Amino acid sequence: VTHVFDAGLHLEPAADGVVRGSTHSQWANMVGPFGGMTAATMLRAVECRPDVHGDPLTLTVNFLAPIADGEFLISTRAVRTNRSNQHWIVELAQDGEVKTTATAVFGPRRDTWASPQETPPNVSAPEDIEPQGFPAPITWTTHYEMRFIEGAVPQPGSEPSESSTTTLWVRDQPARPLDFAALTAQCDIFYPRIYLRLGTAVPAGTISMTVYFHAGRDDLHAHGDDFVLATAHAQRFGGGYFDQSGQIWDRNGTLLASTHQLVYFKN
């Protein structure tokens, strides 16, 4: 049986450097698909290329317009391949209209000096925390098991929060071995920080999202299908925008990815 995440990611060759995919009802968000699935699909389109060089190092995805239900085409262009890395420009279009763009850098990881530098938040194990989903479940959220430590989704009657931080344990539901695509999607697991600060939902959407992949294949293999610890906060709200910086950790305190967003909001 195909895992629901793989079903969402499914791509077929369409032309030279172009793959065809389709939105999947199980990954529906309020408008269009879950942005994390779109980001993962942009990454996967590069991973599918026979001439791909190494593993993902960084991905920036720009959300131009909502993706309509149905088919889309993703074009991938290797702008330059160096010995140490490969630079991609990726565009997702529907009926000739570009809806999403991305740049990605792939490359091999080498054996160098290493230091974890930062440490994860000090939290209880996922087994000690009650599972808790989104209050009015949006389809895609049901495919994640979430255990919130801090900053769960505001409910009707929630007070504004002084903190902009959400921290949760999360994994695919059902569990699935972590790969770069799944890690990319998990980087977008956070609902908009403005909801937390205001204590209520307002119109908001990610404009641009960046992932720095710290995990190599060894880290992913060691991780298996365990929970990741995901935490994110905002640095400034105003003028209709806020930023978000997040980290994805494993249970042993290894930083798998750092991730950043610029988000639009109205209120």
From 216, 206, 155, select the one nearest 185 (Cα to Cα). Answer: 206
Backbone angles phi and psi of 148, in degrees to 5: -80, 130
Residue 239 touching its own copies (CB under 8 A): yes
Torsion, Cα 170 174 180 184, to 10 degrees, reads -50
Name the residue nearer to its own copies (CB basis): 118 or 128.
118
* Residues in Cβ contact with 246 at an 8 Å cutoff, skipping those fewer than 6 apart: 187, 190, 230, 231, 232, 233, 258, 259, 260, 261
Question: Binding residue for its own copies (CB under 8 A) from 2, 12, 50, 79?
Answer: 79
Confirm if 247 and 259 have CB atoms less than 8 A apart.
yes
Q: How far is the CB of 4 from its own copies (least distance, A)?
A: 30
Instruction: Find the part of the chain contacting its own copies (CB under 8 A) among 29-37, 134-142, 150-158, 232-240.
Output: 232-240
Q: Whole-angstrom Cα distance, residue 173 to residue 169?
A: 12
Residue 89 touching its own copies (CB under 8 A): yes
Q: Whole-angstrom Cα distance, residue 84 to residue 109?
A: 9
Question: Binding residue for its own copies (CB under 8 A) from 23, 41, 60, 231?
Answer: 60
Question: Binding residue for its own copies (CB under 8 A) from 70, 114, 127, 156?
Answer: 114
Question: Binding residue for its own copies (CB under 8 A) from 26, 103, 139, 200?
Answer: 103
Residue 53 touching its own copies (CB under 8 A): no
Question: Binding residue for its own copies (CB under 8 A) from 50, 117, 130, 159?
Answer: 117
Q: Whole-angstrom Cα distance, residue 251 to residue 245?
A: 20
Residue 236 touching its own copies (CB under 8 A): yes
Q: Whole-angstrom Cα distance, residue 118 to residue 127?
A: 24
Using CB under 8 A as the criterion, which residues of the chain lie in contact with its own copies when the complex forms? 57-58, 60, 62, 64-65, 79-80, 82, 84-85, 87, 89, 91, 97-98, 101, 103, 105, 109-118, 164, 194, 197-198, 207-208, 210, 212, 214, 216, 233-243, 245, 247, 255, 258, 260, 262, 264-267
